[in-house]
Amino acid sequence: MSESHTTTGVTHYEVQKKRRLSTLEEWRGYRKTVIPTDPSKLVDTPRRMKRAVQVSKDGDAPSQVLDANLHEIPPHTVSTVHRHSWDAIVFITGGSGWTEIDGKRIQWQPWDTLHIPAWSWHRHGNDVDRPATFTTWSVQPMFEIFNAAILEEGGDAPFEDLPPAPVPAVAVEGDDPYSRRVRRLLGQSRPEDARLITRFEDAPFKVTPRGARSAFLVDQSIGYHTTGLTAVWHQLAPGLFQSRHRHGGDAWLYCVSGHGHSEIDGETYEWGPGDLIVVDYFAWHQHFNDSKDEIASLIRVHNFDTLYMSMRVMLDPLDLFEELPKLDAPDLTNVVWPPVDEGRPLA
């Protein structure tokens, strides 16, 4: 049996410092603030659907936590079935169709939002004469960092013939460390009655102190069971803006409708429908609606409930969420808001 021997002539300090600096330099080169939707980049995949990458290693645009992809289902097409160890959010942008999640079929139309739980077999279908489109965000990059990103294909197999999700250990009695761990992890297993869809007409929009009309789309507070993914719909009133703030975790904002700009650490970035605005860590940012007549709609996606809250604990006493002592949000008292579904595409 051969043995290997360490022959480096430098200390661990020098090795780690060089590795950390090179990692930062590499990732700084990947950073982009506004990523447009480009339907011309949609390509056929073995799932009988088309896909275009906005952010993902699959398109040479890697990230550390979230990815973003565009999808199109051709008319009268049913995709193959697959599942993965990470969860995802699906936002419908055009057309109509359905998604089956572990055999449960859910019909959808534009501006509906679905959650695909981890380890759930799922496929998508389009029964009409026009394409259906949606965009997705997931925590696949984070799972890949942990060597826990597993993808399984099921082809066209019926759901009843597919293997079940990993089954947690049966609870055992006892007050020893192992028994306590088994019971704790069993309590974290995916509940069968977790929510899977927020229909746009059911989203509870409310005016917030930060200068927007907002509604949760995916969040544990409205019945979802995610690995930390949350999605909120923000609507900016004509000609107005949100208050300035910054935080330790990145936030992604997908423009559904309207035109505006974001000021991020003193730089101005314009955006419009289909653009993805990536707000980097610890960047002071503020979003503005440039139209005097129409609302601007943005969906904010992040993974704060796991990654961000862990960072807050690990980096305490650093303040990982900062706002101005007095919010610089506009006074919305006399704003006459247009209907929340203004600009919604037909199914």
Burial class, 198, CB count within 10 angstroms (exposed 0-12 / middle 13-18 / buried 19+):
buried
Please tell me whether residues 247 and 315 are part of one structural domain: yes
Domain final residue pick, 163, 187, 211: 187
For residue 158, give the amino acid letter. P
Range of the domain at 131: 37-187
Between 3-7, 32-36, 302-306, the lowest mean confidence (pLDDT) is in: 3-7
| Number of domains composing the chain | 2
Please tell me whether residues 46 and 182 are part of one structural domain: yes
Please tell me whether residues 179 and 279 are part of one structural domain: no
| 304 located within any domain | yes
Mean pLDDT along residues 291-318:
88
Please tell me whether residues 148 and 208 are part of one structural domain: no
Where residue 60 falls among pLDDT bands split at 50, 70, 90?
confident
Please tell me whether residues 169 and 263 are part of one structural domain: no
Contact indicator for 64, 142 with CB cutoff of 8 Å: yes
The DSSP annotation for 188-242 comes to TSPPTT---EE-GGG---EE-TTSSEEEEEE-GGGT---SS-EEEEEEEPTT-BP
CATH number for position 290 = 2.60.120.10
Please tell me whether residues 151 and 67 are part of one structural domain: yes
| 261 located within any domain | yes
Bridge partners, 174 (sequence order): none
| 288 located within any domain | yes
Contact indicator for 210, 329 with CB cutoff of 8 Å: yes
25: pLDDT strictly greater than 70:
yes
Structure confidence at residue 8 (pLDDT): 58
Average pLDDT, the chain: 91
The string of pLDDT tens digits covering residues 125-174 is 999 999 999 999 999 999 999 999 999 999 999 999 999 988 888 888 89
Q: How far is residue 99's CA from residue 272's CA, in Å, rounded to a whole number?
A: 28
Please tell me whether residues 176 and 210 are part of one structural domain: no
| 109 located within any domain | yes
**Phi/psi of residue 318, each to 5°?**
-60, 140
- What is the reported pTM? 0.91
Indicate if the alpha-carbon torsion angle 142, 146, 147, 149 is positive or negative.
negative
Distance of CA 90 to the CA centre of its chain: 8
Mean pLDDT along residues 44-65:
94
Q: How far is residue 129's CA from residue 107's CA, in Å, rounded to a whole number?
A: 16
